Structure 1
């Protein structure tokens, strides 16, 4: 459903995603929306699993559909769906000990769009802060909105948010709360923050300078900086089609369907 490849980029580690199967992607996002996270992970990574899922009352499914797929502002829907796509994509090249924070339950949630916790057996060795933007103007978005947020992190801001998210994410990996708090208590933030900037682009859109300035904000080698693009033709229309497919998949989780 999703494939990726590394591309040459002067400013960061360049990653380019393609959607290879929209129907499978819609099914997987529908699973995320009903909190079947393990099944969604297995689908995107190609692991075997049982497809037995819970059944939901029709009114609960319709509530999810209306709030997530038909919000008042369509940009919120597109941003939310893109975050879920990138949450799935993050599982394609994880190291064995990496953990990805669970996706936001609210499309308009503030803070990090996602984080990836990189750990050893007895320490948090790094964390990746993700910025996901579904946009028709990727360079403007990166320059005017993403870079200021990353500058804030690099200046030491919002560490309380990061600690909270790391502890919660370690918990999803089966680490007891007290142990998770101990792991994060002694973290040295110097050199520990990595960043993934993930944006939508049109086919054949020029992206050679999309992430210009990244290396000035975040020092170090390319491991510290990832610039990821996902090719979506006519992004708003594409998202509308995807939302319709997700809606159909969600209704399959009601009795009698």
Structure 2
């Protein structure tokens, strides 16, 4: 398992987990698969013991390297943001094996939801909860969280419901066992909506201060306010090293098909 989790909370305001990268090399392999357009197989590697995915085509390598690179090494923000969203996607699948989770974006600085998770009641087939994710790699987490609160306010007001519904329908279509019409029947967004913040933080960060004000933005029980953190000593250097490892793995994976 490339990531392990330690519960964190500030009851009754929010709850979530702190991530620890337990195997950089394994994580880089999974990131490489996603960059090569093989997120479907990366997901199966995470949940199926012994699964061996097909070898990627050489035609996918150039695009993967672009995703894993910073066009300007002095401004790696978009590259790091994409990398962190993929890491968050991997973490979500480890936390919720077999979950209905939006696939990672395949461009930098995508203008949309960072992530969406859909929880469906196995008995009724109806949507229990839609989790809207904000996933940010940053060196200024509190400043970023304050911006996220403003976005959550807009979402709570219903400003993004049309886009959210469209994304949820696409996610539900990935599971043929679900009756799509039944799943979204009588779905009341405000009552079924939850949020998940995933963010990089410096080691020793005060999480209570970091997520202060969450309950003022998102009403309801604590399960509607998720908080995930990845503590890193030097976030930019670590992201650069991970991207280099992922590029090396991508090149090796493609070489096996040459």
- TM-score of the pair, normalised by structure 1: 0.90
3-state DSSP of counterpart to 2:230: strand
**What 5-or-longer segments of structure 1 have no aligned partner?**
none
* Worse-superposed segment, 61-70 or 158-167: 61-70
Relative distance call for 1:33 and 1:67 in structure 2 (3 A) is closer
Relative distance call for 1:44 and 1:201 in structure 2 (3 A) is farther
Which residue in the other structure is 2:126 paired with? 123
**What 5-or-longer segments of structure 2 have no aligned partner?**
none
Pairwise CA distance, 1:211: 0.5
CA distance in structure 1 between the aligned counterparts of 2:199 and 2:145, rounded to whole angstroms: 8
TM-align CA RMSD: 2.0
Relative distance call for 1:157 and 1:185 in structure 2 (3 A) is farther
Structure 1 outlier segments of 4+, above 4 Å: none
Relative distance call for 1:95 and 1:55 in structure 2 (3 A) is closer
3-state DSSP of counterpart to 1:28: helix
Given the alignment of the two structures, is residue 133 of structure 1 paired with residue 136 of structure 2, yes or no? yes
Which residue in the other structure is 1:154 paired with? 156
CA distance in structure 2 between the aligned counterparts of 1:110 and 1:52, rounded to whole angstroms: 30
Contact 1:41-1:91 within 8 A present in 2 as well? yes
Pairwise CA distance, 1:91: 1.4
Given the alignment of the two structures, is residue 101 of structure 1 paired with residue 102 of structure 2, yes or no? yes
Which residue in the other structure is 1:70 paired with? 70
The one-character-per-residue Cα deviations of 1:27-61 (angstroms, maximum 9, x if unpaired) are 0111112232343224444x31332423322x530
Number of equivalences: 251
CA distance in structure 2 between the aligned counterparts of 1:85 and 1:195, rounded to whole angstroms: 18
Which residue in the other structure is 1:205 paired with? 205
Contact 1:112-1:129 within 8 A present in 2 as well? yes
Contact 1:39-1:49 within 8 A present in 2 as well? no
